[in-house]
Amino acid sequence: MCKRSHQLFFHDCPYSFQTDVGKTRKKNEDALGCYIPQDPQVFHEYGAIFIVADGVGGSLHGDIASRLAVKTIIHKYYKAPVSSSIRDRLITSIQTANELILTESTMNHESNMATTVVVAVVCKKMIYFANVGDSRAYISGPHRVGGMEQITTDHTLIEEQIKKGLILRKHILEADCQNIITNCLGFEKSVHVDSFEVPILDQDKILLTSDGLTHVANDNQILDVLNQASCEFNSKGLVDLANSLGGPDNISVYVIEANSLQKLPPIKKQSYKTPFVTVSFFLFIAIFLCCLFSLLFI
């Protein structure tokens, strides 16, 4: 059993994550990662980043691809120039991850080393999303349509069939082809990255998840879990939900209370002014020494 969970609080912002091998797989090929800068200036300019990557099932070393994607995206994103937009930083970071996965695959003579990825950056009053494949991003909250909105669009064959009117979205969980993805990192030299920008509303929760949850649970079931518990328990509840429905795949989730991250820590400004008390003390010592010197040599 491969299972990890964690709950953290930073800048009064709770978030939680959990990853689980599921009920039928022997290996967990998902990867998660986040980075919340401790430097207030970096936090102000780049925000906090959260990532879920799902190594493509059936490919060789999907676990390596997913971990490499997470590591590369975080590193590249925070190395990007401040002058570039957050959207451009995300897309460039994901495209770089795609190139490195292809290079790793070639160097090790491995074919089809691939992964999906979904990324969220919370910066100031906005959430920036990017995705490749069928790992998803949702936002839940009292001001969201129906209580929860799916932000990303799956890069899958079934999604293309829905757009063509060949299948209804309400029948997606019963479809045979829901596991066929049409876009991922590590398959081709060029990769299409979808990106989205969403203003933060009061009480918003961000959910990033691999398809191990969304292939077995519908939106109403997911929303029920998000509404029933506080953020720090949501991730466990969602993994438990997926496993209760059979757990046929690895399950990985992040849940973040986005609204709290609007409260940025103050940026400390360096001051070179000497406190009045310190000046007064040294002035007193100087006068005292002068008087003492005069008495000794008069």
Domain ranges for the chain, please list them: 3-266
State the Cα–Cα distance between residues 179 and 186, nearest whole angstrom.
17
12, 234 Cβ separation under 8 angstroms: no
Integer Cα distance of 63 and 58 in angstroms: 11
Assess whether pLDDT exceeds 60 at residue 3. no
Q: Which pTM value belongs to this model? A: 0.83
Averaged pLDDT for residues 147-174:
80
> Helices (DSSP H) in the chain: which residue ranges?
40-46, 62-79, 86-107, 157-163, 211-214, 219-228, 231-244, 276-297
136-140, strands of its sheet edge to edge? 3-10, 13-20, 251-257, 205-209, 136-140, 148-150
Count other Cβ atoms within 10 Å, centred on residue 105. 21
Q: Is a pLDDT exceeding 70 seen at residue 190?
A: yes
Q: What per-residue confidence (pLDDT) applies to 177?
A: 63
Measured distance CA(139)–CA(179) in Å, rounded: 23
Contact status, residue 240 vs residue 249, Cβ threshold 8 Å: no
Band (259; pLDDT cuts 50, 70, 90)? confident
Q: Are 115 and 53 in contact (CB under 8 A)?
A: yes
What is the distance between the alpha carbons of residues 49 and 89, in angstroms, rounded to a whole number? Answer: 12
- Tens of pLDDT, residue by residue over 17-51, are 999 999 999 999 999 999 999 999 999 999 999 99
Distance CA 116, CA 153 (A): 13
Nearest CA to 121 out of 53, 54, 196, 68 is that of: 196
Selecting from 3.60.40.10, 3.40.50.300, 3.40.50.620, 3.40.50.720, what CATH number does the domain 3-266 have?
3.60.40.10
pLDDT digit string (tens) for 209-232? 999 999 999 999 999 999 987 887
Q: Is the pLDDT of residue 297 over 70?
A: no
